[in-house]
Structure 1
């Protein structure tokens, strides 16, 4: 998730720039309880737009799901070039127990045809981080969030498969949440402004990189924010 992939670096840079602000990071996968946990802000993933009049929600990183596997798994397994080939592979699913099947809507990129497929998981975990580790350990083809595996793909630890297809279901966004109030603590205002600036700079850089790749020259998960 975002807590393990992006937040450590972001928090380090924030702490270096604003050493006078104490940072406490509470990591979890449940909706934040601001009063019980006495927190100023939260970064929380959602698959739909958040509507809560007591909170301000600022969209940070969006994600889609990708089909990924390790190079070693792909070398030692049957080819996976058509969507139906998934039926011949170990499939790793994360995020829920008791759901051995996942119904995905997939779109063929070249013509926009949308199909619905049933994915039968052979390894299912309620922990998305465990599912990523299983992919890295060559246990199968995973259906994982782009924000979790983008660096693994760039570094060659994982490879995106079925790249002619995009998963149009089960995407979402990470939001920065904080209580709606006329009075915002100065430390929170500093963090909100700084984080928005950093995310904006990253996204502009990603857009430039994507343009370069398209021309032949050459995307963000859960935890709770500082208190």
Structure 2
């Protein structure tokens, strides 16, 4: 006996023995009595011996029925334990996760959120790759990623999960040599710090908005750096003005290490996106991580925005 129906028949036989009659067991099981009788007959045929002795007014187990009943109880206990363990395994995530993120968001935000996810699911191990270059997401074996800007792999699904607000900043030391700009065109006379990979903004273009006005500037960078964190350090040293995420720049502005330029003009926020393979059959650990990131990353950005002000 190896089929699932056999296990059902065995469970029904145990209920017949416990109820003392086929009719009593049929009521407990919510079955028609003739159906239960056919199942019992099928089980007896597979075993090759009668299990129940049927009299006019009573029912009793045969010797074979007594032997089968003892083994059946052990078998059902084992089956129930196995089912419970499998359900527990489905609830408790297991396995390894490979994740990728643009560098600065990964350092400042994703690493915190991923650490909290791992503490909730101790059976999951994780690795986080911080990369600012375009990635071949699927080929490089990433389960999910946090991206900014246009997709670099058509085989992934992208969903917006948050917006990153930005500020135009410079160090007070730079403003000793260049007067504080009062209009966008004043920025042309100041040194510009650009980023090598165009994630947070173009390396040589800035677009400012105020009410219904839009001002587009084309700038020549005096320095190009690969991460926004490196741009922050260069800006604090007075090498030039640049654009930083609000959650990164706020504390430096409050502390006087940086000054916000043209506060009446605004930079459009950029979308933070989560990426994963473009198919529905994702492992449960990947689905759970994606759901957690979608919920927690916006909250973490909001917390940083508040703390950095």
Q: Would the TM-score normalized by the shorter structure come out above 0.5?
A: yes
Match in the other structure for 1:133? 233
Match in the other structure for 1:60? 161
3-state DSSP of counterpart to 1:23: strand
- CA shift digits 1:165-208 (9 cap, x unpaired): 1234xx6322111112232211111111111111343477699x
3-state DSSP of counterpart to 1:31: coil
Match in the other structure for 1:29? 132
Q: After TM superposition, give the deviation of residue 71 of structure 1 in Å.
A: 3.8
Residue number among 248, 261, 280 corresponding to 1:161 in the alignment: 261
Match in the other structure for 1:186? 284
3-state DSSP of counterpart to 1:163: coil
Higher relative contact order (CA 8 A, sep 6+): 1
Residue number among 77, 93, 99 corresponding to 2:194 in the alignment: 93
Taking the aligned partners of 1:127 and 1:85, their CA distance within structure 2 comes to 26
Residue number among 2, 6, 13 corresponding to 2:116 in the alignment: 13
Number of residue equivalences: 201
Residue number among 204, 217, 241 corresponding to 1:102 in the alignment: 204
Q: After TM superposition, give the deviation of residue 23 of structure 1 in Å.
A: 0.6
The gaps in structure 2 that reach 5 residues or longer are: 1-103
- CA shift digits 1:12-46 (9 cap, x unpaired): 22222222210111121233334432221111111
Taking the aligned partners of 2:304 and 2:107, their CA distance within structure 1 comes to 20
Residue number among 243, 262, 266 corresponding to 1:143 in the alignment: 243
Taking the aligned partners of 1:140 and 1:191, their CA distance within structure 2 comes to 39
3-state DSSP of counterpart to 1:183: coil
Distance 1:20 1:57, change over 3 A: same
3-state DSSP of counterpart to 2:128: coil
More deviation in 23-32 or 69-78? 69-78
3-state DSSP of counterpart to 2:289: helix
Residue number among 159, 176, 183 corresponding to 1:82 in the alignment: 183
- CA shift digits 1:63-87 (9 cap, x unpaired): 3553112344345642222222223
The two structures have a TM-score, normalised by structure 1, of: 0.71
The gaps in structure 1 that reach 5 residues or longer are: 210-217, 219-227
Larger fraction in helix: 2
More deviation in 146-155 or 25-34? 146-155
Please say if residues 133 and 197 of structure 2, whose CA atoms lie closer than 8 Å, have aligned partners that are also in contact.
Answer: no
3-state DSSP of counterpart to 1:25: strand
Please say if residues 93 and 144 of structure 1, whose CA atoms lie closer than 8 Å, have aligned partners that are also in contact.
Answer: no
Please say if residues 109 and 300 of structure 2, whose CA atoms lie closer than 8 Å, have aligned partners that are also in contact.
Answer: no
